[in-house]
Amino acid sequence: MFTGIVSDVGEVRAVTPRSGELHRISISCSYPRDSIALGASIACSGICLTVTEAVEDVGRTLFSVDAAAETLRVTTAGDWKPGGKINLERSLKMGDELGGHLILGHVDGVATLEQREDLTDSARMTFRAPLALMRFIAQKGSVALDGVSLTVNEVGADTFSVLIIPHTLQVTTFGALRTGARINLEVDQMARYAARLAEARG
């Protein structure tokens, strides 16, 4: 479980196809090697992935994760290439501050950046999302985009907008995001459960 507060930006070093539609992905990060246990969960651009290997690599840590067929189908992991940047967050521990909102790392679909408006210090971004997910997105509600917890400003028929503050632009991949970019979307789980309860009653 995560909160959408990115703690590092990693770099994809290698993507190796393996048997059974599985990709092994190696990612460079600044987390200390001895702080990453095998089997630990790390949110990689919002996808909860399990560490299969971790080694020291010229002053940084190189860890590997496996992305299975469903992950490659539903998320942007299938698009990752060496040199690409991804947002990273370690899983929550008891006593950690809940700075964003509760995120499972189970991506619901992929959204596309339709428009970016750069303001004085911030940026307003409008995303197009799959229609099936729009009913879970509400004005002033929460979404996770590439693992970043954000508040929804406006909602249209199949689009929604968020305002990205200067700090987020600096410490995540959002500063480099351009129109047409595909990003991982996880809707607020509270909205999902509320919708399910309403369906059951109806």
Catalytic: which of 68, 176, 194, 195? 68
Q: Are 88 and 8 in contact (CB under 8 A)?
A: yes
Measured distance CA(140)–CA(152) in Å, rounded: 5
Catalytic: which of 151, 179, 194, 195? 151
| Beta-bridge partner residues of 60 | 57
Does the active-site annotation cover 160?
no
Return phi, psi of residue 122, to 5°: -115, -175
Does the active-site annotation cover 159?
no
Does the active-site annotation cover 75?
no
Does the active-site annotation cover 126?
no
Catalytic: which of 7, 28, 41, 112? 41
Does the active-site annotation cover 44?
no
Catalytic: which of 43, 44, 48, 77? 48
Q: Are 30 and 8 in contact (CB under 8 A)?
A: yes
Does the active-site annotation cover 2?
yes
- Dihedral angle, C-alpha 78, 81, 86, 92, nearest 10 °: 50
Does the active-site annotation cover 77?
no
Active-site amino acid positions: 2, 41, 48, 50, 68, 106, 151
